Amino acid sequence: MQTADIRQPGSRNVLFIMCDQLRPDYLSCYGGVLQTPNIDRIAARGLRFDRAFVTSGVCGPSRTSFYTGRYPISHRVTWNRVPLPLDELTLGDYLAEAGRPLHLLGKTHFVPDAARLRRLRPDPEQRRLLDEGGFTPVERYDGHFEPAADSPYRRYLIDQGYKGPTPWTDYVIGSTGADGQFASGWYMRNAPLAARVAAADSETAYLTSRAIGFIEQQGDTPWALHLSYIKPHWPYKAPAPYHTLYGAADAPRPVRADHERVDPHPVFGAYQRLEESECFAQDHVVDAIRPVYMGLVKQIDDELGRLLDRLEQLGRLDDTLIVFTSDHGDLAGDHWLGEKEYFFEPVMRIPLIVSDPSAAARASRGTASEAMVECIDVVPTVLDFLGLPSQEHRVEGRSLLPLLRGGQPGEWRSQVFGHLDYAYREARTFLGRGPQECNGFMVRGERYKYIWWEGYRSQLFDLQEDPQELHDLGTDPGLEPVRRAMREDLLRWLASSRRRTTESSQQVLERTHAHERMMGILIGRW
């Protein structure tokens, strides 16, 4: 395998920044409600993708798509904490093969296939990579739990004077209520209270500081870093002053209509019955949570300012590819749902900004692209940037560099595809289904979004006439031709996924031309 020409000026380093559960329409560069001048700085240096989508509205599958460049039906991590099959390779594996580690600070949600690994007992160095999905952790920190006793972040908290056996629970997501009693961030009613941790010691600030430290340490050595924030994901809990920057009046109102609750599609109906949905269906919950969510986004923007300043001082803005994105969006009451997962635009559409330091990308800086792009495009973009093989027999995404550098990318996709496997959700038990029959697929084209459900009728939304997706046209008889055509598209997509991953396209070409004959085998010769 070829090695990247690390001496090439302008294409040395990779900074892949991911937020968790960040909707694009809160960011000022996306025309959103918040002022996010630092994310805007990245956009000013790069190309902003206005139609970027994840392959799944669930953290684990979406991240695995980001990391493998493959759709969930291909990498097969269809839910959180499903172990990655041992034959799948990630961006970290590709970079490691080229002699360059992909460092990690923050969350991956990755789980190795421990059962298979226990039997195989591979080489320890490989095992280390396999255990971390190909990443080389500076510090892996998945969040949402009290960190392990030997976790650097936990030691940091203790060193900073946050006392007790559970500093994350007590301070990072803990608050003091009006009655002076401890108020846990796990309960959303406590979300508006300030975290007991100082902003400078919170998860977002801590990971940023570690990233700055890492980059400083590298000096002139080329590096690749995945900086993966935990926020603005739940527990919705912000440190001062971010907890109180915004009020309910500053937040967008939830997008929902009463008729969505009347005889909804069965799967949509089951999702409405989930605890977080019933909770977010109440206005006072929306009013409590959305301002905190906004504060958490604002904090990320402030911290990114610190990071960008340091990159600039070090000259790293001139030789670093920056990818800024999120693993999915957030509903927070839209369509009477909490959280994410379902195929609505606020879940599937993500911010994606790519800043390429190369001179060739100059013309696209500060502009926006309407191209339909997907999270699986990040892996091929990074491989392309570093001059590494495209792995096209595995990778299902496409490099975005031609879009950034003004080249002709050839015919671009006009549809994106999503998958939901709700087997692990109580929605499944509400519907009385077995764990192997809970698949839904989304085909999102220019105008229509088509959703195919295993065992149920399809859904259809006309994004032109109904951009808020309030009117399910799945049973509109006049639109059967649209649904049928999109079912054909879905069939074509399912039929053509990259399955033959253990041989490269080059190997196929070499074996096509009378390979058997070269080996002395004659088939069908008289």
Residues 470-489 touching a copy of itself, rule: CB under 8 A, are: 484, 487-488
Indicate which single residue of 15, 84, 238, 267 sits in contact with a copy of itself (rule: CB under 8 A).
84
Contact between 133 and a copy of itself by CB under 8 A: the answer reads no
Q: What's the distance, Cα to Cα, between the start and end of the chain in Å?
A: 42
- Structure tokens, 480: 């059967």
| Interface with a copy of itself in residues 388-407 (CB under 8 A) | 392-393
Burial class (CB in 10 A: 0-12, 13-18, 19+), 492: exposed
Residue number with CB closer to a copy of itself (85 or 177): 85
Distance CA 304, CA 355 (A): 14
d(CA 506, CA 266): 46
Q: Which of residues 233-262 bind a copy of itself (CB under 8 A)?
A: 234
Specify the residue, 126 or 313, whose C-beta has the smaller distance to a copy of itself. Answer: 126
Query: Can you point out the beta strands (E) in 387-489?
Result: 416-421, 439-444, 448-453, 459-462
What the block records as the tokens of 202 is 């919170």
Q: Residue from 424, 462, 463, 485 that binds a copy of itself (CB under 8 A)?
A: 424
* Tokens found for residue 111: 């789980």
Site for a copy of itself in 138-157 (CB under 8 A): 144-146
Strand partners for 47: 354, 367
Least distance (Å) between residue 29 CB and a copy of itself: 29
Q: Which part of the chain contacts a copy of itself (CB under 8 A), choosing from 194-202, 213-221, 295-303, 502-510?
A: 502-510
Q: Order of strands across the sheet with 416-421?
A: 416-421, 439-444, 448-453, 459-462
CB nearer to a copy of itself: pick between 249 and 521: 521
Binders of a copy of itself among residues 336 to 355 (CB under 8 A) are: 338-339
Q: How many residues does the chain have?
A: 526
Total residues interacting with a copy of itself, rule: CB under 8 A: 89
Dihedral sign computed on CA atoms, order 199, 202, 206, 208: negative
- Find the binder of a copy of itself among 41, 63, 76, 310 (CB under 8 A): 76
Question: Which residue in the set 51, 189, 261, 413 belongs to the binding site for a copy of itself (CB under 8 A)?
Answer: 189
Amino acid symbol at 232:
P
SS3 225: strand
Largest CA distance in the chain: 94
Tokens representing residue 26 in the block: 């809160």
2 binds a copy of itself (CB under 8 A): no
Task: Tell which positions 12-71 bind a copy of itself, by CB under 8 A.
Answer: none
Q: Confirm or reject binding of residue 277 to a copy of itself (CB under 8 A).
A: yes
CA 499 to mean position of chain CA atoms: 23
CB of residue 231 to a copy of itself, shortest distance in Å: 16
Q: Which stretch binds a copy of itself (CB under 8 A): 36-44, 121-129, 375-383, 400-408?
A: 121-129
d(CA 232, CA 300): 8
Under rule CB under 8 A, residue 177 binds a copy of itself = no
CA 405 from centre of chain: 24
Find the shortest distance in angstroms from Cβ 432 to a copy of itself.
12
The correct pick among 22, 29, 43, 82 for binding a copy of itself (CB under 8 A) is 82
Q: Tell me the closest approach of the beta carbon of residue 142 to a copy of itself, in angstroms.
A: 12
- Examine residue 302 and tell whether it contacts a copy of itself (CB under 8 A): no
